[in-house]
Structure 1
Amino acid sequence: MTKRAYNFNAGPAALPLEVLERAQAEFVDFRNTGMSIMEMSHRGAVYESVHNEAQERLLSLLGNPKGYKVLFLQGGASTQFAMLPMNLLKEGQTASYVMTGSWAKKALSEAKLIGETQVAASSEADKYMKLPDVSNLSLLDRTAYVHLTSNETIEGTQFKSFPDTGSVPLIADMSSDIFCKPFDLNQFGMIYAGAQKNLGPSGITVVIAREELVSESPKTIPTMLRYSTHVDNNSLYNTPPSFSVYMVNEVLKWIEEQGGLAGIEQKNMKKAELLYNTIDSSGDFYRGCVDPADRSLMNVTFRLANEDLEKQFIKASEQEGFVGLKGHRSVGGLRASIYNAAPYESVKALTDFMSHFQKTNG
């Protein structure tokens, strides 16, 4: 095999090499069936065992909290932006949103199409380079739910703790930091995540929700957009993205092998500390974008003195085998996405490159 790229893509993103190699080994013949898992019926016992195993592993890594259902859906987190208010925002109620950046704005925009919304807190005045105070949210009467984005992939902010919303369900888009560290699922009515950053390949969206929230959906919305459809059919109402489910299960096995979420957090903190220290010790050659208190473990955003130097950095990094370091087109700059599967060795190689680039261009 040729040398693997230093993959810092924001999503689809790096997958653990061990998982890719396991998948390769059983790609053509899965469990001696003479078929790839992609070829077999989703109604058959072999596939269903993988499907159920993945659901069980998701809850097991969270301590097996009671009263939650795992759903495997399609359409990414972007479909959840609409599906969520369609199912949970009733007439006369208001949905409250915490505004932290690009993905929170998109979630709110979709909810506005469905019903009444409120901005419960916002850091727009700070250009989303820090997080708003959510310790004492002022919610309207008949608030259906509070929605936040746990990690803003584009801006590079991440919540370190979550608000207590009392009897109002707290719902989080965790697409870009799910399972990067331990958290208490019992704080949430629902979490959801596109898998393509920390859980597996693109094509599958994981929803974990309290059963009472998702067991009875309005009959006025399309069948496929009702949570209850997927609850009642164990996410097998239609053909699921079977290979993606299989890969999620393999990634979850790999997380267990790393010591679970506590083990993964230690590895992620070590990577992030190395990279942020390189930025902070550069004497302003590299400048972190986000308030240090709100920096993400997953998406490290930074700038250089000017855009020409940033373009030079990107070109030089690509020549050295680094992939995905260009910032999102909406904000520019530079970004290294160091999700669970990004090895420490890749981050060390990046910091060595950054030090060399500063010496030759500083």
Structure 2
Amino acid sequence: MKSNNLNFSGGPGALPASVLDEAREAVVSLPETGLSVLGMSHRSAWFLGILDEAERNLRELLGVPERYAISFLQGGSSLLFATIPMNFATSVFARPEYVNSGYWSSRASAEAKRVCNSRIAWDGKPGGFRELPALHELAVSRNAAYLHYVSNETVEGLQFAVPETKPEVPFIVDMSSDFLSRPLTAGQFAMVYAHAQKNLGPAGVTVALIDREMLARIPAGLPHILDLRTQVEHRSNYNTPPVFSIYVLTLVTRWLRSEIGGLAAMQLINEAKARRLYGTLDAMGGAVKVHAGRPWRSQMNVAFTFGDERLDRAFIASASEHGIVGLEGHRSLGGLRASLYNAVTLSAVETLCEALAEFGLRHG
């Protein structure tokens, strides 16, 4: 039987059991209102309270200064790939620069090319997207509009370390797949954004932390819905927002605060999960190949293969017998991928490791 507890999907991913329980009840009737969350008005006092709490919880978890606006957007990272250069790649500054470290960052830079004259500061494609650059060593124009990168590449299983110092160039980072998985110094970034279907909740909402100084750069004349100032000024309620997604996101932030004990505690759990799985894969020797180079291995997404498509498919089938789901690799890379998002427990990882060891013995 399949289990939410054994969902290793790259996204939408697993949700905490307590959050699922509360969301299930809310679909029928919210304790505070007696109405289904699916029918709650975005103009209601209840939802305005949810927006306030979601922002408050994020500020507390991440230590976000007041100079940063927090918005809950729609359209996912894919929409922001275009709207970010529309808003911030103005003629006053040199062109924006992009790091191509994998599938999703390459998508971001390709969209920017449609909007403005951008530059690729570093490209990992010739090496098969198996390593990452040192961000502070990149030859980036000091007058660049911004440097954009993806902190964790979900497809290839690569993850940047959190920058230790504030860069000279504004950093804009897509943290969709490792947001809230570890502590973060928000003040080191001009903008951080993350869509929800990894560590934050169901698809439909994207969190954005934006330094208000960046808002002053936005040119006049943009369509209102694409102007980030519109979302900030209307407190994420310019048009009908995804009420249910924001509600579940709020439940997740409560879970991180009350049950996990904050992001430092969450990081320790995530480190233990990744250490356990990588240790199992490395112990299998040449039978398994991890895609990412060791120094850049992601704690969120582990991309690997048995080197034979038939064996990869056979392991997916074998794991399914244990109730494990979501191990298919991304269509662009193939192979296998285990995503270890916040809600994936260490117990679930132990089950996956046991399944791997059993499969390895069976197939030599």
TM-score bracket, shorter-length normalisation: over 0.9
Deviations 1:9-43 (A, max 9, x none): 11111000111112223332223422122212211
Number of the residue aligned with 2:75? 75
Give 2:16's aligned residue.
16
**Which residue does 1:241 correspond to in 2?**
242
What's the Cα RMSD here?
Answer: 1.7
Runs of 4+ in 1 over 3 A off after TM superposition: 1-5, 163-167
Structure 1 position 2, deviation (Å): 8.2
CA contact (8 A) 1:101 1:124 kept: yes
One-letter amino acid of the structure 1 residue matched with residue 160 of structure 2: F
Match of 1:105 in 2: 106
Paired residue type of 2:193: Y
Shift in Å at residue 220 of structure 1?
2.1
Per-residue deviation, 1:135: 2.4
Please list every run of 5 or more consecutive structure 1 residues that lacks an aligned counterpart in the other structure. Answer: none
AA in 2 matched with 1:288: V
CA contact (8 A) 1:151 1:174 kept: yes
Alpha-carbon offset, residue 314 of structure 1: 1.5
Alignment match, 2:281:
279
Report what 1:26 is aligned to: 26
Structure 2: runs of 5 or more not aligned:
none
Higher helix share: 2
Structure-2 residue corresponding to 1:147: 148
* Greater Cα offset, 250-259 or 58-67: 58-67
Q: Alpha-carbon deviations, 1:54-111, whole Å to 9, x = none?
A: 0111111012423011101100000000010000001263011111010110000011
Cα gap change, 1:304 to 1:3, in 2 (>3 Å):
closer
Match of 1:307 in 2: 309
Higher mean C-alpha displacement, 59-68 vs 143-152: 59-68
Tell me, yes or no, if structure 1 residue 206 matches structure 2 residue 207: yes
Letter in 1 for 2:275: E
Distance 1:291 1:114 in 2: 33
Contact 2:70 2:209 in 1 (8 A): yes
Equivalence for 1:324: 326
2:167 and 2:188 in contact (8 A); partners too: no
Which residue identity does 1:289 align to in structure 2?
H
Distance 1:58 1:321, change over 3 A: same
Q: Trace 1:1-362 onto structure 2 (pairs within 5 A).
A: 4=4, 6-91=6-91, 93-140=94-141, 142-162=143-163, 166-214=167-215, 217-256=218-257, 257-362=259-364
CA distance in 2, matches of 1:236, 1:215: 21
Using structure 1 for the length normalisation, give the TM-score.
0.96
Which range moves more in the overlay, 298-307 or 33-42?
Answer: 33-42
Whether the aligned pair in 2 keeps the contact of 1:154 and 1:327 (CA below 8 Å) is: yes
Mapped contact 1:96–1:119 kept (Cα < 8 A)? yes
SS at match of 1:77: helix
State the 1:283 CA deviation.
Answer: 2.1
The answer as to whether partners of 1:5 and 1:323 remain within 8 angstroms in 2 is no
Q: C-alpha distance in 1, partners of 2:2/2:118?
A: 51
Aligned residues: 362
SS at match of 2:194: strand
For the residue of structure 2 that corresponds to 1:327, the secondary structure is coil
Quote the Cα distance in structure 2 between the aligned partners of 1:30 and 1:36.
6
Determine if contact 1:37/1:47 at 8 Å carries over to the other structure.
no
Work out the CA distance in 1 between the residues paired with 2:100 and 2:4: 37
- The one-letter code sitting in structure 1 at the alignment partner of 2:136 is S
**1:295, distance to aligned residue in structure 2 (A):** 0.3
CA contact 2:90–2:217 (8 Å) conserved in 1 = no
Q: CA-to-partner distance for each residue in 1:286-345, whole Å, 9 max, x for gaps? A: 221111110000001111131221121122222332111111111111100010001111
Does the Cα contact within 8 Å between 2:182 and 2:267 map onto a contact in 1?
yes
Residues 3 and 125 from structure 1, CA distance in 2 versus in 1: closer, same or farther, beyond 3 angstroms?
closer
- Per-residue deviation, 1:216: 6.0
- For 2:211 and 2:5, the matched residues in 1 are separated by 40
- Give the structure-2-normalised TM-score: 0.95
* C-alpha contact (below 8 Å) 1:214/1:231 kept by paired residues: no
Provide the C-alpha distance between the structure 2 equivalents of 1:2 and 1:167, rounded to a whole number of angstroms.
49
Local SS of the residue matching 2:272: helix
Q: Distance in 1 between matches of 2:309 and 2:174?
A: 31
**Tell me, what secondary structure is at the counterpart of 1:323?**
coil
C-alpha separation in 1, matches of 2:5 and 2:30: 28
Q: Which amino acid aligns with 1:353?
A: A
Q: Deviations over 1:107-139 (max 9, x none)?
A: 000111111111112222321111123222222
Q: Secondary structure at the match of 1:26?
A: helix
| Maintained 8 Å contact 1:176/1:198 | yes
Q: Secondary structure at the match of 1:106?
A: helix
Q: Tell me: CA distance 1:84–1:2, structure 2 relative to 1, closer, same or farther (3 Å).
A: closer
CA distance 1:165–1:263, shift in 2 (3 Å): closer
Query: Does structure 1 conserve the Cα–Cα contact (< 8 Å) formed by 2:2 and 2:325?
Result: no
Amino acid at match of 1:228: R
The 1-side partners of 2:300 and 2:280 are apart by 16
